[in-house]
Amino acid sequence: LFTHIDHVGIAVRDLDEAISFYEEKYGMKMLHREENEEQGVAEAMMAVGDSTSCIQLLAPLNEKSTIAKFIEKNGVGIQQMAYRVESIDEVCATLKERGLRLLYPEPKRGTAGSRINFIHPKDAGGVLVELVEPNPEGMH
Ligand code: CMX
């Protein structure tokens, strides 16, 4: 169903500070950076070595952002984990058949033009699971 761990998402207060931490302390390289207004986030993808797995740093764009709410409730730290899939439409249909709730009726736009959806954390053992179908023209 899933082909790789695409990324682990970490909620941070200040994106620039977090990028510097990952670059300076862990020697990670930033592959991509953008703001996604619909998701309410400023984000950066930090590569784990030469693998195609990343750490996604997520900072809130405003106080209504999902990330602002998450930080208010839990503090900074791991917010989600994301699996890469080949066809998000097929995977979503399969997961629905298996009784899991997805957050969106149709995939939305994620990092670098990818298509994304989420499994509700209440149906996934307390883990917010993102599904990512990468954009072939995007970063991977
Ligand atoms: N991980 C695990 N559990 C979580 C969670 C998370 N990130 N966020 C919320 N929950 C749990 C809460 O602990 C809470 O459980 P309890 O009722 O037992 O306390 C329950 O889910 C409801 O939480 P809430 O604080 O009331 O939050 P909401 O229901 O308003 O929102 C969710 C939860 C998952 C629907 C929302 O976070 C969401 O829409 N997430 C998907 C979008 C997203 O995360 N965007 C940012 C990243 C963008 C990107 O990756 O590109």
- Rounded to two decimals, the ipTM of the complex is 0.97
Do 131 and 110 meet the contact criterion of CB atoms below 8 Å apart? no
92 assigned to some structural domain: yes
pLDDT value at residue 118: 98
pLDDT value at residue 140: 52
Q: Which residue has the tokens 């998402």?
A: 9
43 assigned to some structural domain: yes
Sequence-separated (6 or more) residues with CB below 8 Å from residue 55: 7, 8, 10, 22, 28, 45, 46, 48
pLDDT value at residue 87: 98
- Which residues form ligand 1's pocket by a CB distance below 6 Å? 9, 36, 39, 41, 58, 66-67, 69-70, 73, 79-80, 103, 110-111, 118, 121-122, 126-128, 130
CB environment 69-80: b (16+ within 10 A), e (fewer): ebbeeeebeebb
Mutate to test the pocket of ligand 1, among 36, 65, 66, 123 (most ligand atoms within 8 A of CB): 66
Give strand pairing partners of 58.
Answer: 11, 43
Q: Which atom of ligand 1 is nearest to the CA of 74?
A: 13
Q: Provide the domain limits for residue 74.
A: 4-133
30 assigned to some structural domain: yes
Local mean pLDDT, 10-residue blocks, the chain (140 residues): 98 98 98 96 97 97 97 98 98 98 98 97 98 89
Q: Which helix (H) or strand (E) holds 55?
A: strand 54-60
Do 67 and 14 meet the contact criterion of CB atoms below 8 Å apart? no
109 assigned to some structural domain: yes
What is the distance in A from the centroid of ligand 1 to the CA of 66? 7
Q: Report the CATH number that the domain containing residue 55 is assigned in CATH.
A: 3.10.180.10
138 assigned to some structural domain: no
**Which structure tokens are listed for 5?**
């761990």
Q: How many domains does the chain contain in total?
A: 1
pLDDT value at residue 138: 87
Nearest CA to ligand 1 atom 32: 120
Do 84 and 56 meet the contact criterion of CB atoms below 8 Å apart? no
139 assigned to some structural domain: no
124 assigned to some structural domain: yes
65 assigned to some structural domain: yes
